[in-house]
Amino acid sequence: MQAVILVGGEGTRLRPLTSTVPKPVVPLVDRPFIAYMLEWLRRHGVDDVVMSCGFLAAGVRNVLGDGAAYGIQLRYVEEPRPLGTGGAVKFAESLLDERFLMLNGDVLTDLDLSAQVAQHEASGARGTLALIGVEDPSAYGLVRLRDDSSVREFLEKPSPDQIDTNLISAGAYVLERDVLDLIPSGQACSIEREVFPRLVGDGLYGFVGDGYWLDIGTPDRYLQATFDILERNVQTAAGERLGAGFLAVDAGAESQGRTIPPALVGPGCRIGAGARIGALAVLAPDVSVGPRTEIEQSVVLRGADVGADCRLSYCIVGAGARIGDRTHVEGGAVLGEGVSIGADNVIAAGARIFPGVTLPDGAISF
């Protein structure tokens, strides 16, 4: 089975994490984010994946290579300019089979793709959309189905009196190649807004899935995905690595402190005396944590250096960042790659510090 993954966006809502790293390869727990999708696809028999890239495309290729590490063939196309979801898949047309999966590359999920494909085949559909029920449907475009699972109608931004379903698109589609005939070549086009409505009543079906689904588009959702992987709320190889104890501390890490599950500590990490890591914490490789520092509900990326007597709570610290003694980073704050924060600062309230910024001792107290 073949899939095309759309990864052309700039990931602006995730900045500063995506200021220097393409969103598909931003680290999530212990691997590039898009690796979760590749592993999910492989579990459902996909062995050929086309990556439709745009922003920082070379960075994606450099990290993922030819796909051998994931047991699949990876090929790449690079949009000359942003073409939208429809234009992007049309641009990859020469590489696509008679039937293929089209996927939004922003999603972490364990939905049953095999069941979706089986329903597609049984119904003789031209397109089958994976749908997921959400608790609060008011913030989404909704999909109404007929009794035979064919799509009856799309509702964009429905008013409260229009909400009679909680089904939204999960960003995973099984498509027959002839759907591409409805997309103009070389033009920007949204497959969701311009193509799928034309297929209503003409072979478009919905597959109602259950399981885990999260669109990772913001720092809050990035952290939520991290916690859900650590707590094994979603089926992933990273979660399996934690085992029944919900804890993975690499043998190459040196610790004089405590690590409280669920948590993951990577190779080369150094944790000072009296420090506490967890619960719900990830230290990427080569992170240094000073004595008596506490880190919980947080992600600290490769090579960051956190001083003594610090407190990190519900935050993200970029690769190579430096945090001085007695500094607090909390409340959804995000430090970009290479940021340097001096001693006795408080970074909170969702603050985003962009790559390369240096703040002296005592500069900020939110």
Please identify every residue annotated as catalytic. 157
CB proximity list for 348: less than 8 A, separation 6 or greater: 328, 329, 330, 331, 332, 333, 366
With beta carbons less than 8 A apart as the criterion, state whether 355 and 16 touch.
yes
Burial tier of 122 (Cβ tally within 10 Å: 0-12, 13-18, 19+) = exposed
With beta carbons less than 8 A apart as the criterion, state whether 253 and 271 touch.
yes
**25 vs 60, 104, 213, CA distance in Å?**
6, 15, 19
With beta carbons less than 8 A apart as the criterion, state whether 129 and 205 touch.
yes
With beta carbons less than 8 A apart as the criterion, state whether 330 and 314 touch.
yes
Long-range pairs of 328-331 with CB within 8 A, sequence gap ≥ 24: 329/298, 331/366
Neighbours of 101 (CB within 10 A): 23
First to last CA, the chain: 52
User: How far, in Å, CA of 83 to CA of 8, rounded?
Assistant: 9
Residue with tokens 């939110």: 366
